[in-house]
Amino acid sequence: MLLGVISDTHGQLETTGRAVQVMKERGVEAVIHCGDVGGSAIVGLFQSLAAHFVVGNCDSALKLQTVVEAAGQTFHGRVGKLQFGGRRIAFLHGDSHSALQRLLDEDHWDLIAHGHTHVAQCQAFARTLILNPGAFSRCKQPSIALVQLPELKVTPVALQWA
């Protein structure tokens, strides 16, 4: 199973549209969005994929929840917790270091995805892979990540600027 991980789209419609197209072309089966969506039009771009959203520090939680649910997608509040491809996955925006630390301390997750820093990175911490797919604004290169499950093989994908 191939999972798409995206964050900090900040209303960048063209770049997000390109990201969705790349995910569809590569056979992504589900997407997690780690917050800072940046508007209802962004949510609509994910209509052909099973998408899961959490709220970021630049999002209105109530507005995002309303838009995500109206689009038939899944809203998880501040922290999403899922099982995909035999793996336990948690995702959040990452603006609360203590929330991220609590997830790590649980020592329960195979993958924790987050955004907020606008810096793409992937690192192992004990038995957990921590992934930040990057961002679409205030970054050197817009990017997403694809995760092959159950292997937890991460492929970063650089996107062109809109």
Q: Looking at per-residue confidence, does 137 or 63 come out higher?
A: 63
Segment 42-53 shows an average pLDDT of 96
What pLDDT was estimated at residue 126? 87
What pLDDT was estimated at residue 107? 85
Q: Which CATH superfamily is domain 2-158 in?
A: Metallo-dependent phosphatases (3.60.21.10)
What pLDDT was estimated at residue 161? 64
Segment 122-128 shows an average pLDDT of 92
134: left (phi over 0), alpha (psi -120 to 50) or beta: left
Which residue in the block uniquely carries the two structure tokens 């995500």? 68
Global pTM exceeds 0.85: yes
Q: What is the DSSP code string of 132-151?
A: E---SSSSSS-EEEEEETTT
Is the confidence at residue 162, as pLDDT, over 70?
Answer: no
What pLDDT was estimated at residue 81? 97
Q: What is the C-alpha separation between 69 and 130, in angstroms, rounded?
A: 27
